[in-house]
Structure 1
Amino acid sequence: MLIACADKATSQAELKLVNTIKLKIAEPSGITAYKKHLYIVSDQNGGIYKTTLTGEVVKKIKTNYKDLEGITIIPSSKKIAIVNEAKRSLIYLNLKGKFLNKHKIKGEQETTNSGLEGICFDSSIKRLFAVNEKAPKQLLALNLKGEIKNTYPLNFSKDVSGICFDENSNCLWIISDESSAIYQISKKGKLLKKHKINVEKGEGIVIYKNHMYVVSDSQNTLYVFEMVN
């Protein structure tokens, strides 16, 4: 049974840093989890790296895209979804990296470096959520074709650099590298809870089995937090 993410804090979890792991991945800019593995995308070379939960690379999936800032997996169709910031593209690949299709995500951004910064999938409503980094800072609710169904302003952080869906609380979490903080929010973008973190340029976030995984772009590092109730 799903619990609705109300406009008040639904989770009292605190974040306890339990591991810091140096990655052999250049400029990790997005992260997701699927079947006991992490999938991390590189902003530098456009590669997707399948790793263990402790960051050991077990497979590299090459793509023909650069400036990738977010990744998620659609479990029912076994598709990888990635987003290109500058071109505002939603790109689907299979799990081996074969191109399937691509969609344009409409919207505003002042520069090529202030656009899409993350994407996640809510299987309960079959909807994608993406974030716009700044100018404007926004939460975007999308269908699977990348069509915007709703937009919500995000005015509580300096920027937005990543997003993930938390099936336990049925809420979203976003990360801001400029604010050095992680925020739990409703699906309408309302702030529920804020956590300050000591992570430089946190660019990607995902929750898996009561742990939160954060990647730092500048430090090439994976931070593992235990979500303690």
Structure 2
Amino acid sequence: MIKSIIALFLPLLFMQNLFAKEKVIANIPEASGICYSNISDSLFVVNDEGTLYELTTKGKILREKKLGKYDLEAVEVDEENALLLLINEKKDSIIVVDKKSFDIVKKIKIDREYKKIKLLKKGGDGIEGLALYKNKLYASNQSKKMFPKEDSSVIVILDYKLEEKKLKIIDIINPEIKDISGLTFYKDTLYMISDKNSKIISYDIKKSKIIDTKKLSKKYAQEGIAFDTKGNLYIADDNGKILKIKNFIK
């Protein structure tokens, strides 16, 4: 009986401990995507209004630039080429930005179909998350439909080639989760966030399976996630906040 009670309350205690550590470190209107650069030890954030920001890990805004009338939903850093990759959701395209100057370098289209199945819906509910791993781009679709339906909530894998005008889908991951609003890698593990389900899910790329799921607070609109090298978690909240949870990964 005692063991059953302990088992019942352990998840609740974990949630209390996890979110006791959360802290709002910055306020950015409609924050929709975030990534961390280990070279500059800083965060890059985008919002729905087409603005790109650079922040310290403590939340101080270092730079900001309005890039244009874009619906920016995700940002990822290409450390090797000193570039930032931004998702413009309405066009299902990547805006390539110089990391140092914040100038737009080029734009790359993303193919919507894979094996004659239309996985990415044109316009809203398109790509919401982006992560670069071993020269492949992982992009998540926010759709609330499940694979194999058209416009399904899946993660598409793109062959990352800067010289191309359009990136082809070379494979998919179907975690059977709706509304995947953000992606990031920490070491060899893919982390995805579901805004609808208020969960963060870790996925083993090598084993092709989910290895852990943790609940997040439902009071936030989680649109993007990132980890620094210390395992601290950063969340872009669409309600206008940047959250930090220390030592999420120990």
Scaled by the length of structure 1, what TM-score is found?
Answer: 0.84
Alignment partner, residue 210 of structure 1: 231
Equivalent in the alignment of 1:128: 137
Q: Tell me if structure 2 keeps the 8 A contact 1:62–1:97.
A: no
Runs of 4 or more consecutive aligned structure 1 residues displaced over 4 Å after TM superposition: none
* 1:90 shift after superposition: 1.2
How does 1:28-39 map onto structure 2 within 5 Å?
Answer: 28-34=31-37, 35-39=40-44
Residues paired across the two proteins, number:
210
- Counterpart CA distance in 2 for 1:190 and 1:64 is 39
Q: What letter corresponds to residue 37 of structure 1 in structure 2?
A: S
The one-letter amino acid paired with 1:164 is T
Cα deviation code 1:4-43 (max 9, x no counterpart):
xxxxxxxxxx983423215331100000011211111011
TM-score by length of 2: 0.78
Q: Does 1:161 align with 2:181?
A: yes
- The alpha-carbon distance between structure 1 residues 187 and 24, as it changes in their structure 2 partners (threshold 3 A), is same
Q: Distance in 1 between matches of 2:57 and 2:242?
A: 13
Q: Distance in 1 between matches of 2:33 and 2:87?
A: 10
Q: Distance in 2 between matches of 1:89 and 1:220?
A: 25
Q: In structure 1, what is the Cα distance between the partners aligned to 2:160 and 2:122?
A: 25
SS at match of 2:156: strand
Give the fraction of aligned pairs with identical amino acids, expressed as a percent: 26
Residue 59 (structure 1) aligned to one of 56, 59, 63:
63
Provide the C-alpha distance between the structure 2 equivalents of 1:186 and 1:92, rounded to a whole number of angstroms: 28
1:144 aligned to 2:149?
Answer: no
Could you tell me whether the CA contact under 8 Å between 2:142 and 2:153 is conserved in 1?
A: yes
Stretches of structure 2 that go unaligned for 5 or more consecutive residues are: 1-14, 113-118, 144-150, 162-166
Where does the alignment leave 5 or more consecutive residues of structure 1 unmatched? 1-13
| Structure with higher RCO (Cα < 8 A, 6+ apart) | 1
Query: Contact 1:16–1:228 (CA<8 Å) still a contact in 2?
Result: no
| Contact kept? 1:215, 1:223, Cα under 8 Å | no
Q: Does the 8 Å CA contact 1:16/1:226 hold for their aligned counterparts?
A: no
Larger radius of gyration: 2
Would the aligned equivalents of 2:92 and 2:123 in 1 still touch at CA under 8 Å?
no
Which has the higher mean CA deviation after the structures are superposed, 136-145 or 109-118?
109-118
Aligned CA-pair RMSD: 2.0
User: Match of 1:182?
Assistant: 200
The equivalent position to 1:115 in structure 2, one of 111, 114, 126, is 126
